[in-house]
Structure 1
Amino acid sequence: MGYAGRNRERRSVHGKGSERNRHRRNAAVFEHYFKVVPSWRRWFLLWLLLVDTLVMVSALAVSFWLNPWAYEALQRIVPIVVFAMLLCGVWLVTLWLSGSYRRHKLDDGFSLYETVFNAVIGTVILTGSAAYMLHMEIPRTAVIIAPVVAGVLGLFARRLLRRVLLNRRSDGRCSYATVLVGSPAGIGKSLCTLSENRAFGYLPIAVCPIAVCKGENGESVRNADYREIVSNPEFVKPAVLPFAATLPEDALALGAQTVLIVDALPRESPSLHALALATESLGMELAVSVSFADLSGHELYLRNSAQQDVLTASLPQYSLATTMFKRVFDVIGASLALLISAPLVMLPVALAIRCEDGGPIFYRQERVGRKGRPFVLYKFRSMQVDAERLDSELARESGQQYGALFKMRSDPRVTRVGRWIRKYSLDEFPQFLNVLIGDMSLVGPRPQRKYEVDNYGELYSTRLLVKPGITGPWQISGRSDLSQAEAERLDVSYIERWSITGDVVILLKTVVAVLRAVGSY
């Protein structure tokens, strides 16, 4: 055999070997993917995609049923099946771009619904722009009404899917296998927390107890005694992993999908940085438990430099354009609310209050607004005249602290009409006037009194950076049933993360909370 023949044979043998190696690498990649992404997550994502597709198809059908002329007009431009497929594709893409399919998104409460609203806006803009550029006179029913209906149906579908997911997690299913890294005390506390609240979706399968020592040469991390960890009967006793460079590989070998840092390692720690790189390079999730005062709610940007790395933080929702848009949104919303509610709600309530005891209809009280400026708050009177004089005495008798969240379930000062209008928050309707004046916003932290503001802590005082609102995260999360700490956390979280679409979601959820009368008394 000549040189050319031997060379062809060599290439043939080499090609077969390369092909086998390529198949092995592909098999390893798929095997690794199935390790880091649990099977329930894949099935759940598939169901979510199918539900979202059905939602858009159903929305299109409902829109054409409401307006048959639009169906006939669209049929003359493009086949309905083709248009439905394209619209479903745009809908799924905008949902993905808005973050609706991200891990843990179904756990995030009202921010989940915010992604659906963003997808509705994105779908309308994309389809409308495409129709305009292609000079296609597509009916507004297909471009605007169908995505809006899909948004409403999508909210209900996600609410149902979220409930299914949380029910499964209460039974210990549909969770991410997790390795906890931190001090023995911190791990013990986290085990108790995850046992009480399985909605987080973290199922501890192993722990890595550590102790951080700081010396002249910097910090050093050593393994701690795992016997100090508080035992938790709710979980099977987790395995113990040593803190080493191979920790992510050891965690992956146990079937973990998440490494959760509970404490001990600060965010600027070189050990945490190295662990994060090693963990995420394997496709696993790195989760870090942060404090209430952390900057994680801000938009962070790392400026790299050979001399100094600088982390900048910003909240883009406080730009001039967004603030002006929020004001326009408030004025339009408050005006519509007053026009609709004045004859249907406000007039009957005013007559009922006057007929009951002949006292004043409105209740005026000085509250503290944005940047500490006082303003007069308007409400329908729900208590007896001069009821404020008994506040501190009733608080003392009921064993409560006289402050921001002081409320009694059976307050003797509340009138019969007042009890009814409080139950359904009808006493708050005059505050739409405060919104028009500019003292309040439709959505924001609840307005409080001077003595309450004087007791704010350093972090909680940041709620004065925004206008108080008629409704907010407090009203849709339990209202008066919340503790002081829970209410403060919600207020600060809103200040960090508010957005126009988020405000729309809060307004819609407020309607549901008011009708259910949860925590109102």
Structure 2
Amino acid sequence: MLDQTLDPIWARRYAVTATAPPGWRRPYTRILGLGDLAVLLVVLGIVRAARFGLASEARADAPFSPSYDVLGVAMAIVWWLTLNAFRTRSPRVIGHGTEEYLRVIRATWAAFALMAVLAVALKIDTSRLYLAAAFPLGLMSLLVWRKVARMQLHRHRAAGRALSNVLVIGDRESACRIAASLAGIPQSGYRVTGVWVPDDAGIEEPVTERGIAVLDRNHTLQEMLWLTGANAVMVTDTEHLGPDGLRELAWGLEGTGIELMLSPNVVNVDGSRLHLHEISGLPILHLDEPQYAGASRLAKTLFDRVGASLLILALSPALMACAALVKLTSEGPAFYVQDRIGRDGRPFRMIKFRSMRVGADAELAALVATEGKSIAELPKVVDDPRVTAVGRVMRRYSLDELPQLFNVLKGDMSLVGPRPQRHFEVERYDHVATRRLTVRPGMTGLWQVSGRSNLDFTEAIRLDVYYVENWSLTGDLIILWRTFRAVMASDGAY
């Protein structure tokens, strides 16, 4: 705890002049708001034209039946105001994560319920087909618009614009860790520009570590905010301030427009597992148990089986075409079967379209040896000479993986989960990596949509363990969508 007796003018040390929020926020949120309203007006206009044509009149026999032009504008305004009420454009949720989209979905349901109540209360005669088409189409259009706006924001952030400068209060180690994490995810919108160690008097001159200015208690908070141009303050170790110092810090930042954030030093935990409670005036962060069991529930099983069945029916022409091409262009069977390790360490036979020449497995050791590597390093061979011409195209777009839908239908695999690995790979697992075996392996997973073959073994294991500990059905849907995008771009595919 910072000893207040060292500074008799405690309030002055935390005296901060009003600071404007980052310049990108107000224009971006204004564009989001105008875009939301424009999307709703266009969608409701299209639905009206499709349902009633270019002209529609109010029904004279209804107690209150306005024209659908008026009704559409009123619905758009109510919907838009509901998006405002649910804070869907809050700076804390825009630009990263799924909370922005979830708020848009919740606001849409609330708007639908509100309009239904108003229609009943005011006895407004409306077409059920009009409403049934307007809300799902409007929701989809809003989500697409938000995604497009976010992609544009991400491009600006990747170029070093639209970022908030962060002053970290804590020790150097935690600050550097946070700086590295934020630097690796520019989409988050934050960058660390300075570190203040308020109870350390051992830094006589400014120290720069990894491009970050580190200063001690001889500099006031006001000076640190000015030096770093900070729009946000993040406290990583509260013991450097103590409860009284943290309270004074919050008071000092009040009305300045500067965010105050606390880092609980919890890593690889999804926000949905964190819950803040108050016990006897103390804020307590409750951490839910890992979601291993959730990834094995009936809902996920049904999702896998039904999804695999529908995909097999929809992709049956592609499946037959790939099988025929493999069989006709190279000697050997159309399918390749390999032993993999599944849930709870049980082996199973994984099916793929054969993308290499027959006997390719026996050539692997010699091939990696010529590159100065060993099989134990789990190397990814670029421009592998064993791959056939057809196999190279199938691998680029992951078409060789399609037969694994039958593994999903059988129950050996899931649509989404950790990638099934081989015996010698599993032998390298430590107690952390072994946790990925608590769920069924998947056709795609978090590491595939985060870099595929470009990621090293350690990072792939970290992402897989994160997935099984923080599983959710919504997360599976997001990964499937990101998989489609990654496959189309052929990112990291060898």
Q: Specify the TM-score bucket, using the shorter chain as the normaliser.
A: 0.7 to 0.9
Distance in structure 1 (CA, Å) of the matches to 2:218 and 2:82: 41
Counterpart residue number, 1:23 = none
* Distance verdict in 2 for CA 1:166–1:60, change over 3 Å: same
Q: What amino acid is aligned across from residue 161 of structure 1 in structure 2?
A: A
> Are positions 1:82 and 2:71 aligned together?
yes
Question: Relative contact order (C-alpha < 8 Å, sep 6+): which is higher?
Answer: 2
TM-score, normalised to structure 1's length?
0.74
CA contact 1:95–1:116 (8 Å) conserved in 2:
no
Deviations 1:245-297 (A, max 9, x none): x74897499863322346xx3x7x48465555444554522142846456866
Distance in structure 1 (CA, Å) of the matches to 2:17 and 2:205: 34
> Are positions 1:369 and 2:342 aligned together?
yes
Distance in structure 2 (CA, Å) of the matches to 1:495 and 1:476: 15
CA contact 2:292–2:469 (8 Å) conserved in 1:
no
Q: What amino acid is aligned across from residue 48 of structure 1 in structure 2?
A: L
Specify which of 43, 58, 68 is matched with residue 27 of structure 2: 43
Specify which of 303, 314, 319 is matched with residue 346 of structure 1: 319
Specify which of 389, 400, 406 is matched with residue 416 of structure 1: 389
Distance in structure 2 (CA, Å) of the matches to 1:507 and 1:204: 33
3-state SS in 1 of match to 2:287: strand
Counterpart residue number, 1:257 = 231
Q: Summarize the alignment of residues 260-339 of structure 1 with structure 2, pairs less than 5 Å apart.
A: 260-261=234-235, 265=237, 269=239, 271=241, 274=244, 276-280=246-250, 282=253, 284-288=259-263, 290=265, 292=267, 298-302=273-277, 304=279, 312-314=286-288, 323-339=297-313
Deviations 1:343-402 (A, max 9, x none): x20001111111122412222222222333332222111112232223333333334553
* 1:114 shift after superposition: 5.0
Counterpart residue number, 1:449 = 422
TM-score, normalised to structure 2's length?
0.78
* Distance verdict in 2 for CA 1:316–1:224, change over 3 Å: same
* Distance verdict in 2 for CA 1:505–1:185, change over 3 Å: closer
Distance in structure 2 (CA, Å) of the matches to 1:375 and 1:423: 25
Counterpart residue number, 1:500 = 473
Distance in structure 2 (CA, Å) of the matches to 1:322 and 1:143: 37
Deviations 1:15-58 (A, max 9, x none): xxxxxxxxxxxxxxxxx997363343122212112212222223
Counterpart residue number, 1:479 = 452
Distance in structure 1 (CA, Å) of the matches to 2:120 and 2:353: 52
CA contact 1:181–1:259 (8 Å) conserved in 2:
yes
> Are positions 1:202 and 2:194 aligned together?
no
* 1:500 shift after superposition: 2.4
Q: What amino acid is aligned across from residue 58 of structure 1 in structure 2?
A: V
Specify which of 113, 121, 126 is matched with residue 113 of structure 2: 126
- Provide the aligned length of Structure 1 versus Structure 2: 468
Specify which of 140, 145, 156 is matched with residue 133 of structure 2: 145
Counterpart residue number, 2:7 = none
Distance in structure 2 (CA, Å) of the matches to 1:311 and 1:510: 33
> Are positions 1:513 and 2:491 aligned together?
no
Say which structure is richer in helix: 1
3-state SS in 2 of match to 1:178: strand
Counterpart residue number, 1:93 = 82
CA contact 1:188–1:229 (8 Å) conserved in 2:
no
Distance in structure 2 (CA, Å) of the matches to 1:192 and 1:252: 23
Query: Structure 1 stretches of 5 or more lacking a match?
Result: 1-31, 211-220
* Distance verdict in 2 for CA 1:456–1:40, change over 3 Å: same
Counterpart residue number, 1:213 = none
Specify which of 30, 35, 39 is matched with residue 55 of structure 1: 39
Deviations 1:50-107 (A, max 9, x none): 212222223323434554479959988554333443355336636874x743435344
CA contact 2:207–2:214 (8 Å) conserved in 1:
no
Query: Structure 2 stretches of 5 or more lacking a match?
Result: 1-15
